[in-house]
Amino acid sequence: MNRPVPPAPSDAATRLARRAEALDAADPLRGVRDRFVLDEAVYLDGNSLGALPRSVPDRVAEVVAEEWGRLRIRSWTESGWDSAPERIGDRLAPLLGAAPGQVVVGDSTSVNLFKLLVGAVRLAGDGRDEILLDADTFPTDRYVAESAARMTGRRLRALPPAGIAAEAGARTAVALVNHVDYRSGELRDLPALTAALHEAGALALWDLCHSAGALPVELDRHAVDLAVGCGYKYLNGGPGAPAFAYVRAAHLPRFDSPLPGWWGHRDPFAMSADYAPHAGARRLRVGTPDILSMLALEAALDAFDGVELAAVRAKSLALTDFFLECVGELVPEGAAEPLTPAEHARRGSQVSLRCPDAAGLLGRLVARGVVADHRPPDVLRFGFAPLYTGFAEAARAAATLGELLGASRRGPAGNGGR
Ligand SMILES: *Cc1c(COP(=O)(O)O)cnc(C)c1O
């Protein structure tokens, strides 16, 4: 069966492609793309799995051959494996607006959520018997919060994020909120909500999975109490990269982890029968760190060297603005409705479009070299990683989407095939 011939680019598509060229030429982060392994595909899924930084493969090969292969057990001390979680946490800290000594890398986001949520309830004390939860949260956060509430005997209340400030009160121990909504791409007002929680005497636990590495976070400046986030999205640490946990320095001495493993002990190799937490952020650790993944993440962070987060944010907003404009011009009216707020202050680094048959459409996009993703039931997500995504890619993605949706409008014969 013949595939339908794609329609010739419209005048609008040609004009937008020219604008994209000019925007790419003027992009101050343009050269940073060369720090990544990419190909002709338009890769707009860095919010799910960041692209591979060129700094990673040789470093991983060296760790395997030299540090593991030759030095073996000596590497725990001689190659710095022992302190890698804190060292890489401190390397990451500037991207989170955190001073050193508060961030540890390791475990998954889900595990860190558990540690920090139960730890927050313990910090808040017995008088506070409820946990507030972002009702739109990524599911793992909800599953963990339900179990943490059950274990600690707290009541869990899921609320729309915009309603959390008003509902926080004398009974609230902690609120767990996603900084950027994974489905809609909406950015929440971290400074205002953190301040409102503090006003109520409650703690703020932020999930930064979709903001770390994509926009400035400023944890210290806004006195955020606790935060977690993911290493494999905008931080490009690789599949299953360790996550991170942040606990504000002022809370660390009292932070009582519900998973007090031996690596969080003050002196792990004393092999003491009694648990005594390390004085610093090291108490957030549990068991033996996953060194290979961790050192891959460390090497991946080289991609951020010399990059200002303000420039990352400016480019992210310009890219998502431009993509929304292209969608507005090239996609038939009503075929794909933006779910992502138009307002810059409420936008993360992705654009979500609501389209019927998002799953089928995604397959046709991928077949045409535009890699995005889909969240049920009807959301297409386009992630813009400012370190390596260009304006021409935004234009090409929108033009491809416009062709596919225009074709399907014209009737079942034009369904693009797969
Ligand atoms: C990606 C993501 C996670 C992932 O959790 P893992 O335990 O690392 O698999 C958790 N929460 C949010 C909000 C996410 O976007």
141 is in an annotated binding site: yes
> How long is the chain?
418
381 assigned to active site: yes
Give a yes or no: residue 163 inside a domain: yes
220-275 tens-digit pLDDT: 999 999 999 999 999 999 999 999 999 999 999 999 999 999 999 999 999 999 99
Q: Are 335 and 366 in contact (CB under 8 A)?
A: no
- If asked whether residues 396 and 271 sit together in one domain, one would say no
Give a yes or no: residue 4 inside a domain: no
What per-residue confidence (pLDDT) applies to 26? 98
CATH code, 400: 3.90.1150.10
Please identify, by atom number, the ligand 1 atom nearest to the C-alpha of residue 240. 8
- If asked whether residues 254 and 351 sit together in one domain, one would say no
Residues of the chain with pLDDT under 70: 1-8, 408-418
2 Cβ contact partners less than 8 Å away, ≥ 6 residues apart = none
Domain boundary among 304, 325, 353: 304
What per-residue confidence (pLDDT) applies to 10? 82
- If asked whether residues 311 and 205 sit together in one domain, one would say no
Residue ranges making up the domain that contains 219: 57-304
Please identify, by atom number, the ligand 1 atom nearest to the C-alpha of residue 231. 8
What per-residue confidence (pLDDT) applies to 283? 98
Upstream peptide bond of 377 is cis (omega within 30 degrees of 0): yes
Domain boundary among 260, 281, 304: 304
Interhelix angle for 291-300 vs 84-96, to 10°? 30
Give a yes or no: residue 49 inside a domain: no
- If asked whether residues 103 and 221 sit together in one domain, one would say yes
Q: How many distinct structural domains can be found in the chain?
A: 2
- If asked whether residues 268 and 379 sit together in one domain, one would say no
207 assigned to active site: yes
- Nearest residue (by CA) to ligand 1, atom 15, is 209
- If asked whether residues 110 and 33 sit together in one domain, one would say no
Structure tokens at 360: 């089928």
Give a yes or no: residue 146 inside a domain: yes
What per-residue confidence (pLDDT) applies to 106? 98
- If asked whether residues 81 and 220 sit together in one domain, one would say yes
246 assigned to active site: no
Best mutation site among 115, 140, 181, 228 for ligand 1 pocket (most ligand atoms within 8 Å of CB): 140
- If asked whether residues 108 and 135 sit together in one domain, one would say yes
Give a yes or no: residue 258 inside a domain: yes
Burial 41-60 (b: 16+ CB within 10 A, else e): ebbbbbbbbbbbbbbbeebb
- If asked whether residues 172 and 255 sit together in one domain, one would say yes
Domain boundary among 270, 304, 338: 304
Give a yes or no: residue 148 inside a domain: yes
Provide the whole-model pTM.
Answer: 0.95
- If asked whether residues 67 and 193 sit together in one domain, one would say yes
Catalytic residue (choose from 36, 114, 138, 323): 138
Q: How far is the CA of 138 from the centre of ligand 1 (A)?
A: 7
- If asked whether residues 25 and 117 sit together in one domain, one would say no
207 Cβ contact partners less than 8 Å away, ≥ 6 residues apart = 109, 113, 137, 138, 141, 176, 177, 178, 179, 227, 228, 229
Catalytic residue (choose from 114, 232, 244, 323): 232
